[in-house]
A and B are shown apart, each in its own frame.
Chain A
Amino acid sequence: MLCVTGLLVVVLVLVAATVFGVWWRRRDGRVRNLDGGSEDDVDVLSPDDIGHEFGSRATLVQFSTAFCQPCRATRATLAHVASSTDGVVHVEIDAEANLDLVRRLSVLRTPTTLVLDDGGRVVVRASGAPALRDVRAALPD
C-alpha cells in the first residue's frame, strides 16, 4: 500500500535538503576578514588562551572535535601553511575541552579557524575547511 502523505514528505525533504546543501556548500570554508571594523569589535586572545606562544607574523588557531569530518583536511592545510611560512604557527584546540573559550568566541561548529596577528587580534575567521590559497591570502603582513 502506498502512502501519498509519505510520498509528499519524501519530495519536500529532498527539495529542502538540496536547497540547504547548495547554500552550505557555497559558504563552507569561506574566509572572512574581520579587520577594519572598530577596535572594540575585534576579539583579542592571549597566549594563555590558546596554550601556545604566538607566531611572530600570524597564529592559525583551529578548533576541532573528535567527530569532525573536515577537521583532518583543515589540519593538513594549516600545518602546511605554518611549516612553509616564516613566523606562522598552527595551534589546534580541542573544542570540547575548552568550551569556555568556544563560547567566548562564539564558535558554533568545527572546524573553525581564526587567524591572529602578532598581537593576538582575531583578524580573519573561517568556518568549514578553508582553501590553501585563501589561508595564504589571509595572513597579515
Chain B
Amino acid sequence: MRATPAVRREIDPRGPRFAAALTTVVLAAVLITQNAWLLAAQTAVFAVGALAGPAAAPYGRLFARAVRPRLAPPSQLEDAAPPRFAQAVGLVFSLTGLAGLLGGVVVLGYVAVGAALAAAFLNAAFGLCLGCETYLAYRRSFLSRSAHHTTEVAP
C-alpha cells in the first residue's frame, strides 16, 4: 500500500510554465482568428508533448535553447509526468475544437478551445495544472470500485 519509489524524468518547472504561456497566446489567437491551421499546429504541439514528454515538445525545446540559458539554475526540479498528462488533456480539447472548427460546429470550437485556453492560462499565471487536479476525480468517477492499479506514485 505504501508508495513505491520509482525512477522518473525530472525537468525544470519553469519550462511547462513558459510552454503554457505560449499556448495561451496561440489559443487566444485561434479564438480571435478562427484559423484552423493555427489550431492544427497547436494540436500537433500537444501531441508531441503527450507522446514524448514536455521537454521534447517544441515549446520545451525553445525554452531549453532560448530561455533557460538566461535564467539562474532552478531551485528545484519537477517530475515530468504531470505536465505530460496535461499535454494529453490539452490534446483531447484541441482535437475536439478542431473537429468543431472544420465541421462547422462553431459552438463546439468555442467551448473546447475556450476550455483549453482556461487551463493553459491557469498553468501559466498560477502554476495550477487543471488536468492534474481533475485526474483523481476522474478516476473516482469512471473506474470500477474493485479496480486495483499498480500505477506508482513518484518518489
Contacts and interface: CB of A to CB of B under 8 A. Distances in A.
A102 B153 contact: no
Given A2-B32, A92-B3, A102 B121 contact: no
Contact of A21 (B126, B148, B152): B126
A99 B147 contact: yes
A102 B136 contact: yes
Contacts of B148: 97
A1 B28 contact: no
Report, as a range, how many residues of chain B touch the other chain: 35 or more
A16 B136 CA distance: 23
A95 B32 contact: no
A6 B32 contact: yes
Q: Taking chain B's interface residues, is the majority helix, strand, or loop, or is none over half, making it mixed?
A: helix
B32 A65 contact: no
Contact of A107 (B81, B110, B136): B136
A17 B118 CA distance: 6
B126 to A, nearest CB: 4
Task: Give the secondary structure class of A's interface.
Answer: helix
B81 A97 contact: no
A65 B2 contact: no
B31 interface: yes
Given A9-B31, A21-B126, A68-B82, A93 B1 contact: yes
Interface in A50-85: 50-52, 63-69, 71-72
A18 interface: yes
Interface in B1-36: 1-3, 28, 30-34
Contacts of A67: 81-82, 85, 131-132, 135
B3 A96 contact: no
Contact of A6 (B110, B133, B150, B151): B110
Contact of A65 (B28, B117, B127, B135): B135
22 contacts: A1-B34, A3-B31, A6-B31, A9-B110, A10-B32, A10-B114, A16-B118, A17-B121, A17-B125, A63-B136, A66-B151, A67-B132, A69-B127, A71-B154, A92-B3, A93-B1, A93-B3, A97-B1, A99-B143, A108-B140, A109-B133, A110-B135
Interface of A: 1-3, 5-7, 9-10, 12-14, 16-18, 20-21, 24-25, 50-52, 63-69, 71-72, 91-100, 102-103, 107-110
Given A51-B2, A95-B136, 14 more contacts: A3-B32, A3-B33, A10-B32, A13-B114, A13-B121, A20-B122, A24-B128, A65-B136, A68-B153, A68-B154, A69-B78, A69-B127, A72-B78, A102-B140
